[in-house]
Amino acid sequence: MPSREEVTYFGAGPALLPTDVLENAAKALLDYDHTGLGIAEHSHRSQHATDIINNAKADLASYLDIPDDYDILFMQGGGSGEFSATAYNLVGAWVTRKKAEILEQLGVKSEEDANQEELVSALKKAVESELKLDYLVTGSWSLKAYQEAGRLLGPEHTNIATDSRPINDGKFGKIPEESTWKLSKNPAMVYYCDNETVDGVEFPKFPDVLAPKADGTGPIVVADMSSNILSRRIPVKNFSVIFFGAQKNLGSTGVTVVVIKKSLLPPACPQPSPSLMRKLGLPIPPVVFSYETIAKNNSLYNTLSIFDVYIAGQVLKKLLKTFPDKVDGQQAIADKKAALIYGALEAHPDIYKIVPDKSARSRMNICFRVTKDNDTDKAEAYFLKLGTSFGLTGLKGHRSVGGIRASNYNCIPLAGAEKLVRFLHDFAQP
């Protein structure tokens, strides 16, 4: 059996973790901070848990330069849970804003002062005619998010502002030109997945059409960054909500992080009452998916997996220690690794076919097909078998699309990428 040092794991998630972080976590499982109890045994209501959460929040804010007018939440349910949570919470925020507009039109200062039937009637008309959630469908995960919103709200309230499939033979692999996007007027949110793990598609930068205007106004942008967070600098202020599962670049499976503008939380933007949402025919989020509730309780409304937050915190501390320039230092390495791997694939066009268009190639999930000897299935099976024998594992593509996928997450060292590059060159030889 190979040792940990002999294996370079390119799996798409759960992904590789730093060995020293795992070693420290193993010790903490037995005895955390000389307390005689393991970290998984301490109460989530303890000061130990609070300190772990607060330290992880502070380190994440430092590493990504998250402004003070954002809050950081640790939640559960993974990215799929956030497909629902973003729809629930952002629709609620839309209703709150729309209610304020209608109250102003009615000439009253508060909901209590308004004629309730008149207010609800006006809100219902607004919901029916104006409520939209926009989705940029550029891969499997953004498609799932769009489908979940339609399931919760009804397709009449969801809008595919852009869809990659018509320009890519029914598959994903490109991002349509921004000039072709059909964005709604004042949508509750514009949602996109910054990096599509299944399809190997990554937005090269923040979309210009979604950027805030000079006066600070602009669309409410929500992004799933589960698979490329911590790998490059992001313009946090352009987003209203960013979420990411921990299990790619941050830590172990079990926690999901939400970075949210405080202007979407009380007191600036309290969620509508459940009774009002029912009158409007809109869904009410489960309490564990309520950003308002989770923020109010510093992520400790229910029993959070403190062990997983601890691992994420240890990864962040290691990143901050390794890179004095924070995320910029990690980005330089991520870009270099991706360039090396794509360069090796491009050097042998008769053997390797890179799946996504060059304009949208992911730096994190490098998807390609192997066509050696004109028998793709046989060639890929041999590629995977031979790669495993050289300690290159986790290279099988997603079950829905097949092929090969090298997930180039932060924990893949430069030496690991170089090892894969040598194998790609060697395999391509006659």
Per-residue model confidence (pLDDT) at position 264: 98
Pair 387, 280 in one domain: no
Distance of alpha carbon 159 from alpha carbon 187, whole angstroms: 9
Q: pLDDT band for position 375 (50/70/90)?
A: confident
Per-residue model confidence (pLDDT) at position 56: 98
Tokens linked to 45: 């209501």
Pair 96, 241 in one domain: yes
Domain membership of residue 41 (yes or no) is no
Whether 63 has a pLDDT exceeding 90, the answer reads yes
Mean local confidence (pLDDT), 230-244? 98
Distance of alpha carbon 285 from alpha carbon 89, whole angstroms: 7
* Rg, the chain, Cα only: 23
Whether 176 has a pLDDT exceeding 90, the answer reads yes
Domain membership of residue 242 (yes or no) is yes
Pair 330, 304 in one domain: no
Taking residue 324's Cβ as centre, other Cβ atoms within 10 Å add up to 8
Whether 235 has a pLDDT exceeding 80, the answer reads yes
- The chain-wide mean pLDDT, for the chain, equals 96
Cβ neighbors of 422 (< 8 A, separation 6 or more) are none
Eight-state DSSP code of residue 69: T
Domain membership of residue 8 (yes or no) is no
Whether 214 has a pLDDT exceeding 90, the answer reads no
Mean local confidence (pLDDT), 249-254? 96
Distance of alpha carbon 423 from alpha carbon 75, whole angstroms: 40
- 106-161 pLDDT per residue, tens: 998 888 888 899 999 999 999 999 999 999 999 999 999 999 999 999 999 999 99
Whole-Å CA distances, 428 to 8, 265, 336, 381: 20, 55, 22, 15
Distance of alpha carbon 301 from alpha carbon 295, whole angstroms: 9
Pair 290, 215 in one domain: yes
Domain edge (last residue) among 276, 308, 340 = 308
Domain membership of residue 20 (yes or no) is no
In the block, which residue shows the tokens 């910054």? 194
Pair 127, 70 in one domain: yes
- 262-299 pLDDT per residue, tens: 999 999 999 999 999 999 999 999 999 999 999 999 99
* Range of lowest pLDDT (94-103, 105-114, 302-311): 105-114
Distance of alpha carbon 84 from alpha carbon 86, whole angstroms: 6
Domain membership of residue 44 (yes or no) is no
Domain edge (last residue) among 277, 308, 339 = 308
Per-residue model confidence (pLDDT) at position 248: 97
Phi, psi of 215 (to 5 degrees): -85, 5
Pair 145, 270 in one domain: yes
Helix (H) or strand (E) holding 73: strand 70-75
Eight-state DSSP code of residue 388: H
Domain membership of residue 379 (yes or no) is yes
Per-residue model confidence (pLDDT) at position 68: 98
Per-residue model confidence (pLDDT) at position 361: 98
Q: pLDDT band for position 374 (50/70/90)?
A: confident
Pair 80, 211 in one domain: yes
Closest CA to 250 of 310, 306, 204, 208: 310
Pair 166, 66 in one domain: yes
- CATH value at residue 217: 3.40.640.10
Pair 338, 414 in one domain: yes
Give SS3 for 162. Answer: strand
Pair 165, 261 in one domain: yes
Domain count, the chain: 2
Distance of alpha carbon 174 from alpha carbon 107, whole angstroms: 49
Mean local confidence (pLDDT), 384-413? 97
Domain membership of residue 315 (yes or no) is no
Pair 68, 130 in one domain: yes
65-95 per-residue burial string, b: 16 or more CB within 10 A, e: under 16 = ebeeebbbbbbbbbbebbbbbbbbbbbbbbb
Give SS3 for 9. Answer: strand
Closest CA to 99 of 78, 64, 127, 74: 127
Domain membership of residue 219 (yes or no) is yes
Whether 1 has a pLDDT exceeding 80, the answer reads no
Per-residue model confidence (pLDDT) at position 101: 95
Mean local confidence (pLDDT), 235-260? 97
Kindly report the CA angle at 398 between 392 and 400, in degrees rounded to 5? 155
Whether 415 has a pLDDT exceeding 90, the answer reads yes
Per-residue model confidence (pLDDT) at position 215: 87
DSSP letter string, 190-257 = EEEESEETTTTEE-SS--GGGSPPTTS----EEEE-TTTTTSS---GGG-SEEEEETTTTT--TT-EE
Domain edge (last residue) among 243, 277, 308 = 308
- 318-373 pLDDT per residue, tens: 999 999 999 999 999 999 999 999 999 999 999 999 999 999 999 999 999 999 87
Burial class, 393, CB count within 10 angstroms (exposed 0-12 / middle 13-18 / buried 19+): middle
Domain that residue 392 falls in = 324-427
- CATH value at residue 336: 3.90.1150.10
Tokens linked to 243: 């979420």
Q: pLDDT band for position 220 (50/70/90)?
A: very high
**Percent of the chain's residues with pLDDT above 90:** 95
Count helices and strands (H / E) in the chain.
Answer: 11, 14
* Cβ 180 vs Cβ 162: under 8 Å: yes
* Range of lowest pLDDT (4-8, 128-132, 313-317): 4-8
Q: How many residues does the chain have?
A: 430
Per-residue model confidence (pLDDT) at position 114: 87
Looking at the whole model, is its pTM more than 0.95? Answer: yes
Pair 168, 272 in one domain: yes
